[in-house]
Amino acid sequence: MPPTTTEASKRDKRAIGVSWAVLAAATVLAWLLTPGESEATTTVGKELVAVIVVLAAIKGRLIIRYFMEVRHAPRWLRHTTDAWLAILWTTLLTLYLI
Amino acid sequence: MTSTATLPADGSAAPQKAGKREVWIVYWAFTIFYLALTIGVCFLGRATPPPRPDVSQAQAAAWFDQHQLGIQIGFTFLLMIAGGAAIANGIVGYFMKRMSSGKMLAYAYIATMGVGAIPGFQVILVCWLTAVFRPDREPRILYMLYDLGMLSYNGSLGCFTAAYTVVAIAVIYDKNHIFPKWFAYVTIWQIVTELLASQMWLYKSGAFAWNGMITLYLALVIFGVWITCFLALFRIAAKRESAQTPALYEPEGSR
Amino acid sequence: MTAPSPHPPSPQPPVSTTARTEAQGGDRRLPGDIDMWVMVLGDLFFFGCYFIVYMVFRAQSVEEFSAAQRHLHIGVGVVNTVVLLTSSLFAARAVIAVREGALDGARRLLWATGGCGVLFVLLKIYEWHDGLSHGRTIHDEFFSYYYVFTGLHLVHLALGLLVLGVALRELRAVGRQRPTIVEQSVLFWHMIDLLWVVIFALLYLMR
């Protein structure tokens, strides 16, 4: 079977590459936002935690949609994975804030 | 499976329906055993949901006193039907031998589950029955039996992880499609919960104690899912066995 | 929650190479197979439950948890995350390479995936060793969760390495590669990555 490169697989490769860059950038961004170990504050601010949660949810969705290829998957799977992300992060954030 | 029908001299016409009725009898024995186990352990023996792991000597003795009759009835009954575990292993072994992944794994399953039944089932029965039938013993001895029973019952993992691993491997490598492949993955969760259960030796409270949210309640949910799938898949597999399905004891070539 | 798509979400036609299994009805297809999705969705559900239990217990003693969490090196966590993300990048590229029929490339990419996985394990061992040598044991409530969650994740990662090995063996057999086997293995690998992203945010950042 000779190697075949189609338009679609080129597009997939580009999408995966861009996803990786966004994921790495989001990780580093979350690091820069979080105060260092020596800082005296006991907990990070509420706004900051909200930002961290949103970044993590976006990262999760990128992994699911682009790495796991759920964007090509049937609707039930897209909805199930979205529901998992939404319920998990909403619950975790709520529990953190109360 | 236990039939000892001897093969005719020409090795051809073994009683073709022989395997089927036994499979169903054992299937129902399996189902009823697990049902009885659930009733005995949950409602009479009170081992699930469990008593608290962080009690004092006096509290443990008082707990035995409070549940004396329930434990006496429930666990004596379970002690009498304890052999049901072996029958349950029999049907699992039967279907595992039907798989193309080899009989060795079936034997390994039967052996590991057979040994696992001792710490995972018999020890709690014996410990707690001793405690409720000899309530006059010192509280510190009752306290020991209380801990020993629970830790053995929930914290004994080595044999079970091996048994689940063997099932998962057998299902994944089976080309006869006796069980679907997703069941192997569900079995892997069982291994993970057994590994997590090792934590309950270390804690007396919190999510990892023997009454912890992670080590017990979520593990119970996973076990419930697993055993329900298992029983449903046995039903399907047993129904699929037609009159033409060759019995296991026929010579290799005819299968 | 909006889709953070790197490019406009245009409906994409199905990729039809000889190696790719066609969708049954419509242009949608399930990556991997349904069995692996049972595993992945179940794992995500139960890990989700564990994370929520952690948060419930954390809410009961915020000060202690927060103080303990500040002992974790975020830098190591970030490096760990990037290593695992990179491994997932290689894995995703490997699947495309298999579909294109570039089997040598796919093999190299899978080896790179596994390499990153091993690097992750080494970093984790360093982190555990560092934590334990500073007396951070399970006697601290936060660290009991930390060791259990990261340990459970490592067990999954070890399984993932095994599964990558299965995919590599599949690629070695000449002429009868089943791309779905590689897809399933890679799917499992991405799940490990996904769980780590949650663990990283939960234990290292939300303090």
Note the pLDDT of residue A42.
Answer: 53
Note the pLDDT of residue C96.
Answer: 93
- How many domains are contained in chain C? 1
Given a cut of 50, whether residue B187 has pLDDT beyond it is yes
Note the pLDDT of residue C156.
Answer: 96
Residues B37 and B48: their CA atoms lie apart, in Å, by 11
B147 part of a folded domain: yes
Give the domain range for residue B52.
Answer: 20-243
CB contact under 8 A, C31 and A84: no
**Contacting residues of A for C200, CB less than 8 Å apart:** 27, 56
Question: Average pLDDT of C34-48?
Answer: 95
CATH assignment at residue C141: 1.20.120.80
Q: Indicate the pLDDT class of residue B4, thresholds 50, 70 and 90.
A: very low
Least confident of B34-38, B251-255, C76-80: B251-255
Contact predicate A58/C21, CB 8 Å: no
B227 part of a folded domain: yes
Distance from CA of B178 to the nearest CA of C (A): 15
Separation in Å, CA C115 to CA C84, C86, C165, C195? 10, 10, 12, 19
Confirm or reject contact between A91 and chain C (CB < 8 A). Answer: yes
Note the pLDDT of residue C179.
Answer: 84
The verdict on ipTM greater than 0.95 is no
Is the pTM above the cut of 0.80? Answer: yes
Given a cut of 50, whether residue C8 has pLDDT beyond it is no
Note the pLDDT of residue B249.
Answer: 53
Given a cut of 60, whether residue C12 has pLDDT beyond it is no
C20 part of a folded domain: no
Confirm or reject contact between A78 and chain C (CB < 8 A). Answer: no
Contact predicate C14/C22, CB 8 Å: yes
Interface of C with A in 101-120 (CB under 8 A): 101-102
Note the pLDDT of residue B5.
Answer: 43
Given a cut of 60, whether residue B14 has pLDDT beyond it is no
Nearest of C80, C83, C87, C84 to residue C109 by alpha carbon = C87
Percent of chain B with pLDDT over 70: 87
B9 part of a folded domain: no
Cβ neighbour number for residue B175 with a 10 Å cutoff:
8
Residues C72 and A83: their CA atoms lie apart, in Å, by 30
Distance from CA of B181 to the nearest CA of C (A): 6
Give the domain range for residue C98.
Answer: 31-205
Q: Indicate the pLDDT class of residue C172, thresholds 50, 70 and 90.
A: confident
Given a cut of 80, whether residue C24 has pLDDT beyond it is no
Q: Say what angle helices B123-133 and B68-80 make with each other, to 10 degrees.
A: 140
Given a cut of 80, whether residue C142 has pLDDT beyond it is yes
Distance from CA of B125 to the nearest CA of C (A): 30
Contacts of B127 (CB under 8 A, 6+ apart): B145, B146, B148, B149, B152
Note the pLDDT of residue A40.
Answer: 54
B79 part of a folded domain: yes
Note the pLDDT of residue A75.
Answer: 93
B255 part of a folded domain: no
Domain ranges of chain A: 5-97
Residues of chain A with pLDDT under 50: 1
B225 part of a folded domain: yes
Chains A and B touch (3+ CB pairs under 8 A): no
B13 part of a folded domain: no
* Between residues B249 and C52, the one the model is more confident about: C52
What burial class does residue B8 get, using C-beta atoms within 10 Å of its C-beta: 0-12 exposed, 13-18 middle, 19+ buried? exposed
Residues A3 and B96: their CA atoms lie apart, in Å, by 41
Q: Indicate the pLDDT class of residue B227, thresholds 50, 70 and 90.
A: very high
* Tokens 């992750």 belong to residue: C120
Note the pLDDT of residue C154.
Answer: 96
Interface of C with B in 135-164 (CB under 8 A): 138, 141, 144-145, 148, 152, 155, 159
pLDDT tens per residue across span B58-110: 999 999 999 999 999 999 999 999 999 899 899 999 999 989 988 999 999 99
Question: Average pLDDT of C65-75?
Answer: 90
Interface of A with C in 44-73 (CB under 8 A): 44, 49, 52-53, 55-73
Helix-strand-coil split of chain C, %, nearest 5: 75, 0, 25
Given a cut of 50, whether residue C66 has pLDDT beyond it is yes
Q: Indicate the pLDDT class of residue C6, thresholds 50, 70 and 90.
A: very low
Note the pLDDT of residue A4.
Answer: 63
Backbone angles phi, psi at A92, to 5 degrees: -65, -45
Given a cut of 80, whether residue B173 has pLDDT beyond it is yes
* Omega prior to B49 cis, within 30 of 0: yes
Q: Which of C198, C199, C203, C204 to mutate to test the interface with A (most CBs of A within 10 A)?
A: C198
Residues C67 and C63: their CA atoms lie apart, in Å, by 6
B254 part of a folded domain: no
Note the pLDDT of residue A39.
Answer: 56
Note the pLDDT of residue A9.
Answer: 84
C195 part of a folded domain: yes
Residues B132 and B61: their CA atoms lie apart, in Å, by 9
Contact predicate B44/B71, CB 8 Å: yes
Given a cut of 50, whether residue B3 has pLDDT beyond it is no
